[in-house]
Structure 1
Amino acid sequence: MASFSMLSTLLLIGVSGAFLSGLLGLGGAIILVPMLLYVPPLIGVGALDMKEVAGITIIVVFASSLAGLSVQNKNRLVLKNLVVLMGVCAVFAAFFGAVYSKHTSSKVLLVIFACMAAFAAVVMVLPKKESDEDIVLEEIKFSKPKAALISSGIGFIGGMVGAPGAYIFTPLMIYFLKIPTKVAIGSTLGIAFVASISGAVGKLITGQVPYIMTAAVVIGAVPAARFGARFTKKIPAAVLRKALAVVIAFAAIRMWMDVTNY
């Protein structure tokens, strides 16, 4: 049974992690995993192993991405046909990536994902002219073959390393599909939600979710994700891109540290 101190810590982790996830259009795993692994032992309230963290994270990503998505949809920042296309492609590709990963070493998988994170961080700081005026979704055009190719590639590699890579979707949508930053952020939450469904179901039916600790994180994460999503429309697109670049850069640095210490 988790202590009150541990549950309180998990609640606060849920709040802080999901706020950033809702604001920046992240699935949440890239923020929640290191926080769940390192914060509790750092402040002396206990520790979680990676299996527990994985079980908690997939449920929280499912719940918080849905909460943030509902707000972004009301703000008209979700391109639904893009979400369906990229989400479905990513889910199917992730399955094949997971199967193929059996024949690939863990270190190679980690290097691949670390390279993707580093690339995404660099891309996000490239200059891009963009208006912060209201966006008309019906006027946004994108290449469906490119969208399918991008989501299949990320999904395949994400399936190999066991992470959806939602934070990589946003920069690729912005710079390669020419999707406005705020719509890319809102749509990424939709893709993260679709991609997390099968993982959440799998973890639940196989008993890999610590219910009480997960509930503590979800209770903090759901309202925080909605709150963060409300600010997306108010903050300039350039600021959002820089903030996302910082988050992705930290993720890339942490992954490369794992690679060198492997």
Structure 2
Amino acid sequence: MNTTFMITFLLLGFIGSFFSGLLGIGGAIVNYPIILYIPPLLGFDGFTAHEVSGIVAVQVFFSTLGGVWAYRKGFINKPLFLVMGTSILVGSLVGGYFSYILSETIVNVIYGVLALTAAIIMFMPKKEANEEVVEGFNKRLAAVLALVVGLASGIVGAGGSFILIPIMLIVLKIPIRITIATSMAITFVSSIGVVIGKVTTGQVPYLPAILVVIVSLIAAPLGVRVSRQLNRKVLQWSLAVLILITSIKLWSDILF
């Protein structure tokens, strides 16, 4: 592995982790397509979908660890975290472990479905809510949705935050700042299950994963600090546009 390759992956890790902290996502929505598409464009050997999902899984674990540490005294809602965190851990363990039997196309399709669904939900109208108060939520619905997200995100190596956030905002009607902080904690729990599943089935190329992780613990908290200075509407629309662009690119490749 040459120096250019190492620098490239350090930059990729920084970009994904910064957006992880900024938007309350684990970084998979950014890093999955970047790692899948950019190395071949730069003349490096490309990774398979399974290898990309393994790299992303490890990166998400460390980036969300940094993000949760930064949010530890902030807006994390404990009841919501306990309900969705427990459910998504089960789903991510199952999805991460059995993903190795799926074809690359199926892995990419599942990622595309998650991204497109998230984009659609994010663009749905949302009523204004108190910034810091959760007035109540449907625990059964929250648990079921978290389980489904865990299964799907476990397959593609994601923590699931890019689909969790729109679900929490639109379906469960959780305020944006509580959503961002709590989803980060839930995604961290999810990533534990995903990493266990990916590592035990040999889907993680360790050196690229380590390179991406190196900058994660720096970039994710930096993104969190920047997010505290931004308007919540800016955060929500930035995430929506990011998800939409990614889903369009992936589906264009799958279909054409």
Residue 119 of structure 1, aligned match among 117, 120, 124: 117
Deviates more, 1:142-151 or 1:168-177: 142-151
**145, 149, 161: which is aligned to 1:150?**
145
Cα deviation code 1:65-100 (max 9, x no counterpart): 1101111223x1211221221122122234555789
Q: From the superposition, tell whether residues 194 and 242 of structure 1 become closer, same or farther in structure 2 (CA, over 3 Å).
A: same
Q: Which residue of 2 aligns with 1:191?
A: 186
Match of 2:70, as an amino acid? Answer: V
Q: Secondary structure at the match of 2:174?
A: coil
Aligned with 2:163 (options 142, 161, 168): 168
Gaps of 5+ in 1: none
Q: CA RMSD in A?
A: 2.9
Give the equivalent residue in structure 1 for 2:82.
Answer: 84
Return the letter of the residue paired with 1:230: R
Q: Is the 8 A contact 1:37 1:47 kept in 2?
A: no
Cα 1:34–1:131 change in 2 (3 A) is same
Q: In structure 1, what residue type is equivalent to 2:83?
A: L
Count the aligned residue pairs.
255
For 1:183, give the aligned amino acid: I
- State the alpha-carbon separation in 2 of the partners of residues 130 and 36 from structure 1: 37
CA distance 1:69–1:154, change in 2 (3 Å): same
Higher Cα radius of gyration: 1
1:214 CA drift (Å): 2.2
Report the CA distance between 1:103 and its aligned residue: 10
The 5 Å alignment of 1:42-121 reads 42-44=41-43, 46-50=44-48, 51-74=50-73, 76-95=74-93, 114-121=112-119
Normalising by structure 1, what TM-score? Answer: 0.83
> Once the 2 structures are TM-superposed, how far is the Cα of residue 43 of structure 1 from its aligned partner?
2.9
Q: Distance in 2 between matches of 1:169 and 1:235?
A: 21
Percentage of pairs with the same residue: 38
Deviations 1:43-71 (A, max 9, x none): 33x23412442332111110001101111
Q: SS at the partner of 1:152?
A: helix
- Given that 2:97 and 2:198 are in contact with CA atoms closer than 8 Å, whether structure 1 keeps it comes out as no
Question: Which deviates more, 251-260 or 19-28?
Answer: 251-260
- 1:180 matched to 2:213: no
Structure 1 residue 36, shift from structure 2 partner: 1.5
**Which moves more between the two structures, 204-213 or 53-62?**
204-213
Give, in whole Å, the separation in 2 of the partners of 1:128 and 1:88. Answer: 27
Provide the residue aligned with 1:224 in structure 2. 219
Unmatched 5+ stretches in structure 2: none
